[in-house]
Amino acid sequence: MFALVAKALLSGVLIVMIAEIGRKLPAVGALVASLPLVSVLGMILLWQQRPDAENMAVHAEATFWYVLPSLPMFLAIPQMLRMGLPFWMALVAGCALTVVLYLAMMHFGPRLGLRL
């Protein structure tokens, strides 16, 4: 139970840290947010629970392919905001776009030989 609470606290600290940095220095906050901190931390915790090289290789490769569908959101949201859409509407639309692209990746990825 302690390990679960520690993981949750660390995740929360990362999110708050990114938000606080972004409030004062938006570009630096974006840089920190773009770092694969969550992915690296997830791989470390996964390795501790199941130290299997092939499992980790599949996990890391699938993470790469799942990052790609999330990237258009980071271009769509600023564009929608600049067009005058309210923040929450732009955020929901960007997230919806990402969900659609994730579903497309899940559908077409294996057909293209990707291990997801």
Dist CA 31 CA 110 (whole Å): 31
The proportion of the chain whose per-residue pLDDT surpasses 70, expressed as a percent, equals: 100
Give the pLDDT confidence score for residue 99 in this predicted structure. Answer: 97
Type of residue found at 88: W
- Is residue 80 within 8 Å of residue 94, measured between CB atoms? yes
Type of residue found at 94: G
Dist CA 43 CA 61 (whole Å): 11
- Is residue 69 within 8 Å of residue 94, measured between CB atoms? no
Domain boundaries, the chain: 55-116
Q: What is the DSSP letter of 35?
A: S
With a cut of 90, say whether residue 20 has pLDDT above it.
Answer: yes
Type of residue found at 39: S
Give the pLDDT confidence score for residue 98 in this predicted structure. Answer: 97
Type of residue found at 61: E
Residue 1 buriedness (CB in 10 A; 0-12 / 13-18 / 19+): exposed
With a cut of 90, say whether residue 35 has pLDDT above it.
Answer: no
The proportion of the chain whose per-residue pLDDT surpasses 90, expressed as a percent, equals: 72
pTM of the prediction? 0.78
Dist CA 42 CA 45 (whole Å): 5
pLDDT by residue (tens digit) across 42-74? 899 899 999 999 999 999 999 999 999 999 999
